[in-house]
Amino acid sequence: MIRDIEYKDLLFFEKLKNLNKVSHFSTTRQGGVSSGEFSSLNLGNYSDDSSINIYENRSIVARKFHIDTEKLITPHQTHGCEVIHIDELFFNQTKSQQIEDLYGYDASITQLEGIFLCVTTADCVPIVLYDPTTQSIGAIHAGWKGTSGRIVENTINAMNKTFGVRPTDIIACIGPSISIDNYEVGDEVKEIFIENNFILDGSNSYLNKESGKIHLDLKEINRQELIRLGISANNIEKSTLCTFENKELFFSARRQTIHSGRMLTAIMINK
């Protein structure tokens, strides 16, 4: 990922940065108004931070792209595998109905222009998808539950069914999340992946001999999923940044526990 002089507090994917038809970003924890553990650009709508601070932080990001905060479409994520299609009918509803409709989704897709599809993360894996052929996009929040439940497959299938997307046309970008060395999980998590027919091997996991616990590389597992589903490895960008290690740059739920803020990763089709 790269930084831009104009947007010094944001990160960008190299594979998307110079495409005229699409805008995107991934925030850091820098450049906002929140304080304490939530310092400073906390974008987690459902964190314990002040709602006034969160709204101002969202406004700061929106203003960078000359849009209203209402155009940052952010589902109320529940670590599930459901995908919502954001269409014209969504915007014909009241604001309260829109908020209600966004509950329980961890991925979204659209062909509408001028709106950002967003996911919030603080160790989980953010993934954005762009198909230049059908001009459609998707945004995915993939924690271990969503990953093991194949949310990536659900999202790509939804894009295929709704827009006629072919996986071979998709550009996929995987944002900052916790690294394998810092992501230790219990045997019950490992068993869920195995039960769901994931292959855990030296390419995406390892056994810590000292603790006896397995470590998972969620970014790599999701990259392998994208390839399995037909996306070319050359069309995939995977961030090497670890949210747990880079405490000056990122929030981390594992490092900060319940007092962690959230970053925002988003993608938009330009008008």
**CA–CA separation, 105 vs 189, rounded Å?**
21
Residue pLDDT, tens place only, 46-61: 888 999 999 999 999 9
Can you give the pLDDT at residue 182? 98
- CA 223 to CA 205: how far, in whole Å? 13
- What's the token pair of residue 39? 């310092």
Q: Tell me which DSSP letter residue 113 carries.
A: B
Strand partners, 120: 264
Local structure of residue 164 (DSSP, 8 states):
-
96-146: per-residue pLDDT in tens?
999 999 999 999 999 999 999 999 999 999 999 999 999 999 999 999 999
Question: What are the pLDDT digits (tens) for 213-225?
Answer: 999 999 999 999 9
Query: In the CATH scheme, what is the code of domain 10-269?
Result: 3.60.140.10
**C-alpha distances in Å from residue 82, one per residue of 139, 167, 243:** 12, 19, 25
